[in-house]
Amino acid sequence: MSKTWFITGAARGLGAAITRAALAAGDRVVVTGRNRAALVEAFGENSDTVLALALDVTDAAQIQAAVDAATARFGGIDVLVNNAGYGHLGLFEETLAQDARTQFDTNVFGVFDMTRAVLPVMRAQRSGRIFNVSSIGGLAGGASGSIYCASKFAVEGFSESLADEVKGFGIHVTIVEPGFFRTDFLDSSSVRHTDNPIADYAEASAAIRAFYDARSHNQAGDPAKLGQALVALASADQPPIRWAAGTDAIGVVEAKAAGLQAELNAWRDLSASTDGDFAFREEPQTEMAWS
């Protein structure tokens, strides 16, 4: 049975690859992006399978208008792909407060607002799939990723919590964690670098910039294959909450899991020593264990 997809940031990169895979599978796709002309150039004018809409995910009113147009045209939304976003890379002390706010407006609040607009449609259907495109940087931070990784960590915490809230309505949420994929992500047309140099960081900043510049358009991941994988996940009976894309992403997940276990074991006694001396002790919590 064919599906209706709603994909943000669809004009290029992973969004375009996911769109092509969904169309190849015989599905309908609402393609959105800030520049509608770029969408038309990539996928043609509106048709029985494509609806191209201008959408800036930082504009809540535009989001609602796009969702209304999508449901009016195709009758519902089966798959939401929150893909729109960008990376702001640089050492934290060299970033400005506005850099972080702008990064979160797109990568985090854009995802919140987009999801909030689509959830009523999916609840009414009692079905739906939400793919929140994070990054392996949403699981493991590193130098130069302070505000970008912070935004993706936020998306992951949101997604894990949301998945528990909406599963009773037949809605599945999957966090997509790509490694390095051959897109424009590291290109000057997409990535943003800090522009507030501090002399003490000059050598480190130059090395990090050179590292990313050397990898731009030379990444190992194939966007077309990621798109095909998401089409498969969209039909899975029990899709994962977290899905790593690429062998480099698998390596990061494995290293993170091993590191967490090792650190937990090393400090286990001190961690356990903070329990109170109560008459009864609750079973260890696996959900909502935060304070």
pLDDT at 208 (0 to 100): 83
pLDDT of residue 186: 55
- Quick one: which of 161, 164, 74 has its CA closest to 121? 74
Q: What pLDDT is attached to residue 213?
A: 72
CATH topology assigned to domain 4-272? Rossmann fold (3.40.50)
Which residue ranges make up each domain of the chain?
4-272
**pTM of the model as a whole:** 0.90
CB 149 within 8 A of CB 99: no
Which residue's entry shows tokens 């009758």? 75
Helix axes 97-104, 146-166, angle to 10 degrees: 30
Enumerate the active-site residues.
134, 148, 152
Main-chain dihedrals φ then ψ at residue 195, nearest 5 degrees = -135, 50
Q: What is the pLDDT at residue 184?
A: 64
pLDDT tens over the chain, length 291 residues: 899 999 999 998 999 999 999 999 999 999 999 999 999 999 999 999 999 999 999 999 999 999 999 999 999 999 999 999 999 989 999 999 999 999 999 999 999 999 999 999 999 999 999 999 999 999 999 989 999 999 999 999 999 999 999 999 999 999 999 988 665 655 555 567 677 888 998 888 888 888 777 765 566 689 999 999 999 999 999 999 999 999 999 999 999 999 999 999 999 999 999 999 875 556 666 555 544
Q: How many CB atoms lie within 10 A of CB 258?
A: 10
